[in-house]
Amino acid sequence: MAHLNLNFGKYECAMRIDEQLPKKILNYSAKRHCNVEYELFIVLNGSISIDVEDHTYALEVGDALLIAPTKFHCSIATSDDLVNMIVPFMMHDSTASKNFFRQVTPCRKLHMTDFTMNVCNSLMDELREKPIFWQEAVQAKCSLIMSGLLRLLSDTTSKEDTQDVLGPEQRFAAIDSFFEEFSGKYGTEQILADRLHISRRQLNRILITHYGMNFRQKLLHSRMDRAAWLLRTTDLPVSEISEAVGYVSETSFYKAFRGHHKTTPQLYRKGFYKHG
């Protein structure tokens, strides 16, 4: 059994490769079970159906299924010519590994590139024939397989993340409406992201690109703009304006207003009246 430690930027993983794998990839079958590791199923030939958490995934040549730890799964049906490669690995504990788990749980179906499929078949040859320096070659090929997997996950996440259900005009109208609505009460990134049918990450990219501010900065800007408008157009006391723009603490409102407008609410109001 070969144990490999592989590093890919923010990801660090430990992979197990069974030296007897070429003898175990034929006629695969497994009862319902779960593992403490990730399991990457890659179909090299034939087809297989795998049940994961009561959902069935049909895999053919070139398909892969990445199953997260602790998720129950089993094979349901296999073709007579099935050749199925299984790569178990663990992610070292980190913020990146937690995000990785959330991204793939309970599993992700992917289609491997031709290059990665060739590497998989070449890996089988190394394990089967064990020529000189085969251990080093196995580690290099496992690194290529893992990098191919991470690239696929990154590509599919990016495509899903950039899907835009609303057109540009509808999107910006929804953003402006949200900040007008929530300038006086508690609003979150998730609420706005859900309205736009996008992720919070893409939401902040849009805000920074088109408004020059992230969500928190844009919300503060909207509240301070509303507070200034109320100071200019009403005789409401500062305490009521503070509540009207979503501040429970008047002290916090003073601090935010002074930081944004470089003056106090009272001086802002006096200065406006003084200059007409």
pLDDT tens-place string over residues 2-41: 678 888 888 889 998 877 766 666 666 678 888 889 999 9
In this structure, are 152 and 180 located in the same domain?
no
In this structure, are 127 and 23 located in the same domain?
yes
Q: What is the CATH number of the domain that holds 81?
A: 2.60.120.10
Q: What is the CATH number of the domain that holds 193?
A: 1.10.10.60
pLDDT, tens digit, for every residue of 167-188?
Answer: 667 788 888 888 877 666 667 8
**Cα–chain center distance at 51:** 24
pLDDT, tens digit, for every residue of 215-257?
Answer: 989 889 888 998 999 999 999 999 999 988 888 889 999 999 9
In this structure, are 35 and 114 located in the same domain?
yes
Q: pLDDT value at position 114?
A: 94
In this structure, are 143 and 107 located in the same domain?
yes
Total number of domains in the chain: 2
The tokens describing 202, both together, are: 């893409």
198: domain range? 168-274
In this structure, are 192 and 222 located in the same domain?
yes
Q: Residue 39's beta-bridge partner residues?
A: 67, 88
Cα–Cα distance measured from residue 30 to residue 50, given in angstroms and rounded to the nearest whole number = 10
- pTM surpassing 0.85? no
In this structure, are 74 and 204 located in the same domain?
no
User: Pick from 143, 161, 179: which residue ends a domain?
Assistant: 161
Cβ atoms of 276 and 268 closer than 8 Å: no
CB environment 225-260: b (16+ within 10 A), e (fewer): bbbbebbeeeeeebeebbebbbbeebeebbebbeee
In this structure, are 142 and 209 located in the same domain?
no
